[in-house]
Amino acid sequence: MADTVSPAQRSVNMSKIRAKDTKPEMIVRRLLHRAGYRYRLHRHDLPGKPDIVFGSRRKAIFVHGCFWHQHSDTACLDGRRPKSNPDYWNIKLARNIERDERNRAALMGQGWDILVIWECEVRDPNLLDRLTAFLD
């Protein structure tokens, strides 16, 4: 199946996708800050540059977009692969999944605890409870 937009429009769309300070990440950060937690952002010295880092606790949080990191929950519709250009997307998204697994394994090997929050989970009213259970 061919792409539904022109290559120029696809390029414009892709250029607007951010790697940090995304809406889901900002929601999680605001929740944590309001709850009194202080943290560092995107530590470059750690594998995968976790979105939120609690150095003294050795805990890291990744806020993953369901599409880019391929959320496998069947209830999440954002994790579906595109039907257009499957040769490209299957390879690209598989590489993202492998990279995430490598980064998590490297962090855990260094003694870090990791929590992954999916984009679709930021709307969960119990998210703060889950975060505090992880951090305390």
Query: Mind listing the pLDDT tens digit for each residue in 95-120?
Result: 999 999 999 999 999 999 999 999 99
Tell how far CA 76 is from the center of its chain: 14
Q: Are 51 and 61 in contact (CB under 8 A)?
A: yes
Q: Which amino acid is at 39?
A: Y
Q: Which residues of the chain have pLDDT under 50?
A: none
The two three-digit tokens of residue 92, written as one number: 């690209």
| pLDDT of 74 | 84
pLDDT score of 88: 87
- Which CATH architecture best describes the domain 17-135? 3-Layer(aba) Sandwich (3.40)
Which residue type does 13 have? N
pLDDT at 2: 63
Domain ranges, ordered by start, for the chain: 17-135
Residues 19 and 25: their CA atoms lie apart, in Å, by 10
pLDDT at 15: 66
